[in-house]
Amino acid sequence: MTDSVSSGEDAFNALLDLGYSEREISEMVKSKSMKFQGFMSKEAILLMVAKKCGIAVGEAGREERLSAEFERNDEIDYDEFTISIGELDENMSNLVLLGRVQSIFPIREFTRKDGSQGVVGSFLINDGTGTTKIVLWDQQTDVMRSDFFEKDQIVQVIGAYSKLGRNDLVEVHLAKTGKIV
């Protein structure tokens, strides 16, 4: 198939064309739905399943940038490493979280003790088991300025660590090699 699919219906039909039965497609969608605990629409899950099965998925505008980022991460299936926010504890590392952006706090500039300038940004995500603050530093805050980053967007936090924050609540900081997709 040379054309890309951009809707759930197109993805479903393309999967049928590849030889998957309606039952197999339904089972794949149900499995993914359980993983995302209602945080993704059936259409989005169908597109994800289609992509996993080798079908080109094309989306307009801002979604193309997200799709390109996901393609760069195809070598590793982060789903199996994802933990729920409810399982978070302080001093955990190499975290992978998936959640919906609940609120976004303003990005702030500050001066470090050594006199250099720094930037910090943070936002809250929720995955149905809990809510946690995600903290980004310096260039990592660029993702918060991008067009796709907004309230109610589902994001995956890859390569983070947890620590006790200012109010004795566990918060998650993105490591230097971490990313938000």
> Could you tell me what percent of the chain has a pLDDT over 90?
43
How far apart CA 168 and CA 58 sit, in angstroms, is: 43
Residue 168: count of CB within 10 angstroms of its CB: 7
For the segment(s) 79-180, the CATH number from 3.40.50.720, 2.40.50.140, 1.10.10.10, 2.60.40.10 is 2.40.50.140
Alpha-carbon separation of residue 26 from 49, 54, 80, 87 (angstroms): 10, 17, 21, 29
Cβ–Cβ < 8 Å for 174, 134: yes
How far apart CA 156 and CA 77 sit, in angstroms, is: 12
Alpha-carbon separation of residue 173 from 5, 53, 86, 118 (angstroms): 36, 33, 16, 15
Q: What is the mean pLDDT of the chain?
A: 82
Any idea where the domains of the chain sit in the sequence?
8-58, 79-180
How far apart CA 123 and CA 103 sit, in angstroms, is: 6
Cβ–Cβ < 8 Å for 82, 157: no
Tell whether the model's pLDDT for residue 21 goes beyond 60. yes
Q: What is the pTM of this model?
A: 0.58
* Residue-wise pLDDT tens digits, 25-79: 888 888 877 765 555 667 777 888 888 888 887 644 334 444 444 444 445 556 6
> Could you tell me what percent of the chain has a pLDDT over 70?
82
Give the largest CA-CA distance in the chain: 63
Identify the helix (H) or strand (E) that includes residue 163. strand 154-164
- The dihedrals phi and psi of 107, each to the nearest 5 degrees, come to -75, 135
Mean pLDDT over 112-132 rounds to 94
Of the two residues 155 and 35, the one the predictor is more confident about is 155
Cβ–Cβ < 8 Å for 137, 120: yes
Cβ–Cβ < 8 Å for 58, 5: yes
* Residue-wise pLDDT tens digits, 65-114: 444 444 444 455 566 678 889 989 888 888 999 999 999 999 999 999 99
Mean pLDDT over 15-20 rounds to 92
- The dihedrals phi and psi of 88, each to the nearest 5 degrees, come to -60, 140
DSSP 38: T
Tokens 């998925």 found at: 57
